[in-house]
Amino acid sequence: MIFALAGRRIDAPDAPEPRFPAANEKIVEEKIRDLFKKDKPQALVCSAACGSDLLALEVAAQLGIHCEIVLPFGPSFFRQESVADRPGDWGPRFDRIVADLEPLHQIIQLNLNPDAGEGAYVTANWAILDRAQSIAREKNLPLAAVIVWNGAPRGPEDVTAAFLHSAQSARLPILQIPTL
């Protein structure tokens, strides 16, 4: 099995509606670990934002699962915009993962225009699915999309919901892990 994963970031302190409260980090991490132990994926492809992505990457590393990261921008800009802008130790955790994967050439940087807004993240989601499909073909293994979220779109600009729709359009099996 190959996993393509996307999901919620940890909520900002002033989030009007909870989607992934920081207090749920350990619970979600355990749910990710349980899924990975049950399905035993050979590879994980995702981005590296605070919350779902970094938790999945950390669990995968602990379990010896091959990881590849897709970033819409270079690591330093991505870290600033999608990692270190939330409370917690996400920045150093991101740095460790990048330091481990960069020498192995397991980070794909799309170098998109930061002015593209949410569109850059949707494009990165498509690249995550494409790369995961390539690995699945190379290894002749099934592919599943893993969505780590609260189960409800936050509107038309919801990047996690867009990932879900792309995975559904590709007729992939969908595995969901709740953040609430």
The Cα 81–Cα 113 span in angstroms is: 13
* All domains in the chain, ordered by first residue: 2-178 (3.40.50.450)
110: its two tokens: 């799309």
The Cα 12–Cα 22 span in angstroms is: 9
**Sole residue written with tokens 């994963």:** 5
Q: How many CA atoms lie within 13 A of 145 on its CB side?
A: 26
Burial of 155 (0-12, 13-18, 19+ CB in 10 A): exposed
* Among 149, 157, 162, CA closest to 116: 157
108 in helix, strand or coil?
A: strand
pLDDT in tens, the chain (180 residues): 999 999 999 999 999 999 999 999 999 999 999 999 999 999 999 999 999 999 999 999 999 999 999 999 999 999 999 999 999 999 999 999 999 999 999 999 999 998 888 999 999 999 999 999 999 999 999 999 999 999 999 999 999 999 999 999 999 999 999 999
- Is the separation of the CB atoms in 145 and 164 below 8 Å? yes
Model pTM score: 0.97
Q: What is the pLDDT of residues 93-130, one digit of tens each?
A: 999 999 999 999 999 999 999 888 899 999 999 999 99
What residues contact residue 71 under an 8 Å CB cut-off, 6+ apart?
47, 48, 78, 107, 108, 109, 110, 124
